[in-house]
Structure 1
Amino acid sequence: MTRNSPRLTEASRKLEALTRAGVDTPPACEGDDAFIADKGTLLPHELSRMRLVCSRCPLLEPCGDYARTARPEAGYWAGMAYGRPEKATAKTA
């Protein structure tokens, strides 16, 4: 995103809304470091657990609004992993 781009402005607005909503209602993922990890470091069972946590979160909608707009470089937002997967390594025989 370039500085002052419409997407950046919209993402900032949505992050502010998410932050305000989280003041009185903490997110279900609060304190769980797995939610800020790169998706390439997460195992399938962790992703399943995180998806379940998100599905029960009272902030699912504002979190998803922010993530779809900002397209974060890492983390797990509203049931979706963001970031780059780890590169597959070539296996040697």
Structure 2
Amino acid sequence: MDPQQRIRILSEAAEFLKVEEDDSSLGIILDAAEETLENAIGNIDIDNSARVKLALFLFMQNMYDNRTLLESRNGEKMSNIMKTIILQLQLENWSDES
């Protein structure tokens, strides 16, 4: 992600998450969410897919909301909408490579 795109995505994510844009944890959460999403589906195009952007923001929201590790939350599962989005993107990426 180029620096200008990163600034724009951080701003959009802060608005989506309803947090202050200068929250120092937001940058690392963006990096981790982007890396997680890329590892799940391959190359991502944040600017040209609303589902990719939403998946990125949902990952960020989950990471932001669960910054503290609690034993009782370790069994928490990913939402069905998140599973659906990732599965669709994996299938699209797979069919593009075939």
TM-score range (shorter-chain normalised) is under 0.3
Higher helix residue share: 2
The structure, 1 or 2, with the larger RCO (C-alpha pairs under 8 Å, 6+ apart) is 1
* Normalised TM-score (structure 2): 0.26
User: Higher strand fraction: Structure 1 or Structure 2?
Assistant: 1
User: TM-score under structure 1 normalisation?
Assistant: 0.26
Larger radius of gyration: 1
